[in-house]
Structure 1
Amino acid sequence: MFGIEVDGSVEPPSFINSLQVALKETWAVIYAHGGVIAEFDNEQDAREEAERWTGVCFRLDAC
């Protein structure tokens, strides 16, 4: 059987595909006042928000 082993059981490829969908790209903005919002799904929106409010943006990576 082809798949990925998780906790001793082998999961089918559909399980892998569902993980890839769930782990979409996420960007966060840290504002000058210390607030954080991590709800941006693309770099352009995060950059615009950071520039508008004198913050910085970065990509959150799933490990």
Structure 2
Amino acid sequence: MLALQLHELIADGIVLKHTDPGNNLVTDYQLSAFGETLTPVIAAMETWGNQYNAVMSAHK
């Protein structure tokens, strides 16, 4: 499942894949410049998640 999602993110230009030519077992993934534009969205989701956890913890 992870491989399928990574393949889709690569195909969409969000993630770049680098494989070490000397060692096929070493693969690196990073956000492309286009993928970096998602950083504010991801940060906003993290903020929301932290607030949600705080509210849920207060209700226990």
TM-score (norm 1): 0.27
Which of the two has greater strand per residue? 1
Which of the two has greater helix per residue? 2
Q: Taking CA–CA contacts closer than 8 Å with sequence separation of 6 or more, which of the two structures ends up with the larger relative contact order?
A: 1
